[in-house]
Amino acid sequence: MNRRAWLLMSLLAALWGASYLFIKVGLEDGLEPVFIVFTRLALGALVLVPLAMRAGVLTRVAGLGRPIAFVAVIQVVLPFLLITFGEQHISSALTGILVSAAPIFTALIAVRFDDEERPHGIAAAGVVMGIAGVVLLFGIDLRGDAQALAGGLMVLLASVGYAVGSLYLKHRLRGVPPVAIAASTLVLGTVLLLPFAVVAVPVQTPELQTIGALLALGAGGTGIAFAIFYTLIADIGPGRASLVAYIAPGFAVFYGATLLSEPITAGAILGLILILAGSWIAAEGRWPGRPRATPGEPLEPPPPVREPGR
């Protein structure tokens, strides 16, 4: 990848990793989770709809009301709500780690519904590794606290929604421009949550830092972040663009530790390593540093590493 692609990917990872920080700021100021999610969707839609209109792709979702509605609920509204409700009881760093388990659930669901995504060989070992990371987090960081356990389960369920949504997109909305899907799902999600958000409007004006966090979460972490993601897909392809999912959790842990003074335990670090490594192996079907194998062809050994000066 060129320097521009790396810069965009770093910015995207920083934005997505900061989303859990912004959510925590809103929650600590007393905002209701429904209001936070509604604001996030509305601001994200304000960014993405003009981009989709400028690209002339909104007409591509005409006649796709049911699939778009399903994606809006299963991959946007419900996961965002579960993450925000769950983060009332667990740290922002732990939230970012648990959300990164989505590729593990994608592989597990694919066993039944998608032959192409079904894990085989070393990919299956990656699934086991990721599951071990999740079990480690629940066994060490969340044990003994019923509310924290419930919060962790909510966030984990959100990652299941992401997994279901990604597989559904692949089979039901193949060929539809991603920016059109994102813009339409954010608009629909905003409409669905409007009646609940009206009831959850804060009685007192939020603090200035909370307002800034909501703007950053909606316009930055949702709208601008999706726009960057689609730019990366166009520039370097979806496979390389998806690498951001393995970088963003590191930012979430960094923000939580430095800006919110959240304790980062050894269990959290080990769980993060297991989940990210397992997700990568499950998605790629190979160990890091090994070339990707094509169907019917064995993996060839990697070329020898040349030392500097040789």
The predicted structure's pLDDT at residue 299 = 39
Is residue 192 domain-resident?
Answer: yes
User: In this predicted model, what pLDDT tens digit does every residue of 259-296 receive, in sequence order?
Assistant: 999 988 888 888 888 888 887 787 666 665 555 544 44
d(CA 171, CA 181): 14
E strand or H helix at 46: helix 33-55
Contacts of 84 (CB under 8 A, 6+ apart): 23, 27, 33, 36, 37
Q: How far is CA 245 from CA 104, 128, 210, 263, 283, in A?
A: 12, 19, 26, 23, 11
Question: What's the pLDDT tens digit per position in 223-251?
Answer: 998 888 878 877 776 656 767 877 888 89
pLDDT digits (tens, 9 = 90+) for 124-181: 888 788 888 888 888 877 877 889 999 999 999 999 998 888 888 878 888 888 889 9
For residues 48 and 46, what is the distance between their CA atoms, to the nearest angstrom? 6
In angstroms, the CA 79 to CA 19 distance is: 13
What is the span of the domain harbouring residue 235? Answer: 3-284
Q: Which of 271, 252, 279, 220 is nearest to 91 (CA)?
A: 252
Asked whether residue 215 is domain-assigned, the answer is yes
pTM of the model: 0.84
Calpha distance 193→51 (Å, rounded): 23
Q: What angle do CA 127, 132, 134 make, to 5 degrees?
A: 100
* Any domain includes 239: yes
Residue 95 lies in a domain: yes
Residue 148 forms part of a structural domain: yes
Share of the chain above pLDDT 90, in %: 44
Q: Per the structure, how many domains does the chain have?
A: 1
The answer as to whether 299 is a domain residue is no
Q: Could you count the other beta carbons within 10 Å of the beta carbon of residue 60?
A: 18
Ramachandran area for residue 90 (φ above 0: left; ψ -120 to 50: alpha; else beta): beta
Whether 303 maps to a domain, the answer reads: no
Domain presence at residue 55 = yes
Rounded Cα distance, 128 and 277, in Å: 11
